Amino acid sequence: MTALLGDADLRDLGSPDIPPLFREVADRGWSTTASGARVLTDLRPEGPAEYFDRLAEETTVNGRGMTDYDLPAAAHERTPLLLRRCLAYLCAALRAAQKEFGDSGVRGYVSLSFSDTEDALLTAHVTFCTPLPDIRPYVADLERVEKEAVAEISVEDCRL
């Protein structure tokens, strides 16, 4: 992921880069559940749900595959567009979280991997969680992840 981020053109990254449904989610902001989980308000489940811990609740509720049906299939064309789309959404949501909670505790995670289909298209997943001292990290040993590219992004990283 470090190489992908280093090669990415992130100039003028912003709202036009975000697919409309994801833009609406980021714009509608954040809320807190009964357990204290920080979740994107529009992604909250309608009915009751049980989670192992707050980390599981946040990553499950906040996690989504990024819209990519409109992107070219060729990896060299697809990769920069998909990464840009994910980062624009991450940063919009992280700024909204900072505004809502008054801190920079929420982290965004973007992962890129090839689908397990005949086409083996590059796909992306985005989620958010708040690291807590008494709960394991969402991605332990981030630098050692293989088979996919993963980045942890803070709101401070969004000052590109």
**Given this model, what pLDDT does residue 119 score?**
78
Torsions phi, psi for 141 (to 5 deg): 55, 55
Which ranges of 53-114 would DSSP assign to H, the alpha helix? 54-62, 75-101
Share of the chain above pLDDT 90, in %: 62
Residues 6+ apart with CB under 8 A from 62: 39, 40, 43, 127, 128, 129
Burial of 26 (0-12, 13-18, 19+ CB in 10 A): buried
pLDDT beneath 50: ranges in the chain:
none
- CA–CA gap between residue 123 and residue 114 (Å, rounded): 6
Domain boundaries, the chain: 2-158
pTM of the model: 0.92
**Given this model, what pLDDT does residue 159 score?**
76
Task: For residue range 109-152, list pLDDT tens digits in order.
Answer: 999 888 877 777 889 999 999 998 888 888 887 777 777 788 89
